[in-house]
Chain A
């Protein structure tokens, strides 16, 4: 931790400790703050799902309810007196329910997942209502403040108990998200396909994320039970779920401060909204501010009338509406709805994200101040793959009789591809000839309709992309598939995910094993970045790199897997001439390290200079497989690229792609 973080930590602990004193022990405010802390715990967890893995969960009110009711039932029905046991049970039970939901539901994504989690939340609310023998149904359960180690906590002491657990949750979530788990969560949002092909199973890590998130909801739920001292089914409804989501996106995703701020807003909002004159004041201020901002933007010509008309009308409309209203409480949900719309369209990164962006714009050096660590000038620490068994002759990969059929189209028809160990094997052919399909078959993204793929003596047909990646086949993508919101170093670290053997325990307690693995991985990542010439851009977000560098970073990330076979899908596409030279050198060096390569490329000069063998595909069929020099004079190959002598040569040369 840096000094700044220590300072921040101590300041926040002091603020939490002094808060009750500051409000003069007023029980109303203490309870309000307690609720904010409890919500924040849940929101830390929800942010893992929403902010990091990028999925929408509408089931968190249900999970929160499970946590609450587990505590209630343990205390009321089973008579367990120990608060720590009860809290732990809530966490465990809720995590279990999270897993039961996640295992089927996370096979789908996006809107499907949103609806499925919504269905889950609805089922939970029904079950709480109906299973009266456990939950007392609509009557609810009364639970007094707990005793800790035989000592009965009062209102204020319970506040400190919640505050301590909130800090614990904060540290836990921070540690998880900073670790390789957190990197996996982030990577699978940015590019699921690439994530699978780096040996990080998207499905599995989504389930992990969801279960961790559920555990947080369970913790929050059990604390809520003691805080309210009474629970009933109606609390855990759809409205609460929306409130949680609003809090996360409004506060700012992928931060810890965002959920805290979001919790503060959604907890205090109802009390703010119950006061009509206060609401009128806020709405008027917002309208004035909105009009001024729009006027400034219009005068500076940064925005057009069309762009500002909607937000301006809505804030002004809101202000007018507030004077027309007599009873604000009835319109609470409408206001929540409008806030959600506003955040979704105009504040996508949340308040914290917006403030950070503004700070970066004001002090630009803030963003670039960090320099690359671990790289050195003389290149002595540049990447070298771990020593492997000496090369033997023979084929590393044998794909035989591959048939890949999409409906009636045979994208690959009885194709054989044998790749010798240690070779650079070119794979060429006109557009649409099946090269990329072949890549996808070899990496497990497509399952071939028929045929065998044997890698290193083992069949890999039917294995998942992440299993194949871990077996030693790495790849890059024709349309660059980097993890855009992660830095170059982090991208490579995802490739190095397989080097981590630490479990959740190691991460939470920051054990020596975990620290050593993390350190080793960082060193290797720095070495790899240096190898592909990106050492000075190590801390740049991948999406901000120039295109040619992005392609190199993809190669670096693939090298992180320690592959024995590396598949490069058009690595030279869109590169400038000097970049291509650099690329050729890198490819040669990779081969010299004992890694076999398959190279798909349209730049014939590149393919012909560095390939040992070249396979030519046309319309899903293999038409040649020879040494480069022979391929160039093969009449079939010439015909495939330039058309037969009967056709119009000028036309075909200009457009080698068959329609």
Chain B
């Protein structure tokens, strides 16, 4: 029983990370109908930049964990702007789906290779900002960092939601996602809104990176599978539903830790991907998504 509870807790904290990344996919999909295939790399870069700031690998430490977070958010936003500018904007102009898929993949490869050359190919350890000693909840060992991940992920998603609902800039984002052409005619700079959504999306991913890094190993390849599984989460929950991202994330996170423990750690990536194929076969719009009506 304790073991199951413990697995559930690590599943939930992992799931919330997936949810935040999936949330990032939704942000750009809403405004422009495009996705950043390098979302995982945005996370990885965030984590590694954060690591350089708080540890001694590049002559640091320069800052403590908490002060580093705002800087990483800014870095993530800039990285998102670069992706949008090079990878997405030209393809939106030519309405080429193939274009943005291939170019965001190409950028992802470049970022990963860049990271390998700067931070090396080996995984690094990210110092935990809080006590690494576990405490007991109903007999299960819980790390404070796991709690922090859940709280941080929820806080980030709430902040973005609040921004979208309450501020005038957020209204521009929502308007653009509903009808880009009409929003443009109403004087909204839709190009700007799309760039902004990429900045926001990569910033969320970078934040997820520094949240998850103390719990796992940090390295150039950490993002790829996280990004892929978060996409599975976005599909399972539905690309249009924030709630879907959270529920999908929790389902996948828990499934994965259970598989890892009861079957084999080698197979722990499999259930998410199989779940992805199943959801597509049964309900392509996702558990919480609405099926779009195709207009002819």
Tell me the B residues contacting A by CB distance below 8 Å: 34-35, 37, 86-87, 90-91, 96-99, 101-103, 105-107, 109-110, 112-114, 116-117, 224-225, 228, 231-232, 235, 264, 266-267, 269-270, 273-274, 276-278, 280-281, 284, 293-294, 296
A136 nearest CB across to chain B (Å) = 14
Q: Which residues of B contact A116 (CB under 8 A)?
A: 276-277, 280
- A54-B98, A105-B280, A114-B37 given as contacts; is B105 within 8 A of A340 (CB)? yes
What number of residue pairs across chains A and B have CB atoms under 8 A from each other? 129
16 more CB-based (< 8 A) A-B contacts, given A105-B277, A127-B270, A337-B107: A56-B101, A115-B231, A116-B276, A119-B232, A120-B273, A122-B228, A122-B273, A126-B269, A126-B270, A332-B113, A333-B113, A336-B109, A348-B96, A436-B296, A440-B296, A446-B293
Identity of the chain B residue whose Cβ is nearest the Cβ of A56 in the assembled complex: B101
Q: In the complex the two chains form, is B266's CB within 8 Å of A56's CB?
A: no
- A344-B103, A406-B293 given as contacts; is B280 within 8 A of A334 (CB)? no
Q: In the complex the two chains form, is A111's CB within 8 Å of B266's CB?
A: no
- A129-B266, A345-B103 given as contacts; is B278 within 8 A of A104 (CB)? yes
Interface of B, secondary structure class, is helix
Identity of the chain B residue whose Cβ is nearest the Cβ of A197 in the assembled complex: B296
Identity of the chain B residue whose Cβ is nearest the Cβ of A115 in the assembled complex: B231
Q: In the complex the two chains form, is A130's CB within 8 Å of B266's CB?
A: yes
Mask, A107-131, CB within 8 Å of B = 1, is 1101110111011101100110110
Q: In the complex the two chains form, is A119's CB within 8 Å of B102's CB?
A: no
> Which of A56, A123, A337 is the one whose CB lies under 8 Å from B273?
A123
How far, in whole Å, are A330 and B120 apart by their CA atoms in the complex? 10
Number of interface residues of A (CB under 8 A): 53
> Which of B86, B113, B231, B281 is the one whose CB lies under 8 Å from A341?
B86
Q: In the complex the two chains form, is B281's CB within 8 Å of A104's CB?
A: yes
How far, in whole Å, are A332 and B112 apart by their CA atoms in the complex? 11
- A54-B98, A110-B97, A345-B90 given as contacts; is B280 within 8 A of A104 (CB)? yes
What are 12 A-B contacts defined by CB distance under 8 Å? A56-B101, A58-B105, A115-B231, A126-B270, A193-B294, A242-B105, A242-B106, A330-B116, A336-B106, A340-B109, A445-B294, A478-B296
Q: Which residues of B contact A160 (CB under 8 A)?
A: none
A465 nearest CB across to chain B (Å) = 10
Q: In the complex the two chains form, is B235's CB within 8 Å of A477's CB?
A: no
- A104-B278, A116-B276 given as contacts; is B110 within 8 A of A238 (CB)? no
Q: In the complex the two chains form, is A112's CB within 8 Å of B102's CB?
A: no
- A115-B235, A122-B273, A337-B113 given as contacts; is B106 within 8 A of A108 (CB)? no
How far, in whole Å, are A341 and B294 apart by their CA atoms in the complex? 31
- A122-B269, A477-B296 given as contacts; is B225 within 8 A of A344 (CB)? no
Q: Which residues of B contact A333 (CB under 8 A)?
A: 109-110, 112-113
> Which of B102, B114, B267 is the one whose CB lies under 8 Å from A334?
B114
Q: In the complex the two chains form, is B110's CB within 8 Å of A337's CB?
A: yes
A103 interfacial contact with B, CB 8 Å = yes
Q: In the complex the two chains form, is A123's CB within 8 Å of B274's CB?
A: yes
How far, in whole Å, are A238 and B225 apart by their CA atoms in the complex? 11
A126 nearest CB across to chain B (Å) = 6
A61 interfacial contact with B, CB 8 Å = no
How far, in whole Å, are A190 and B266 apart by their CA atoms in the complex? 42
Q: In the complex the two chains form, is A330's CB within 8 Å of B117's CB?
A: yes
B229 nearest CB across to chain A (Å) = 9
A249 interfacial contact with B, CB 8 Å = yes
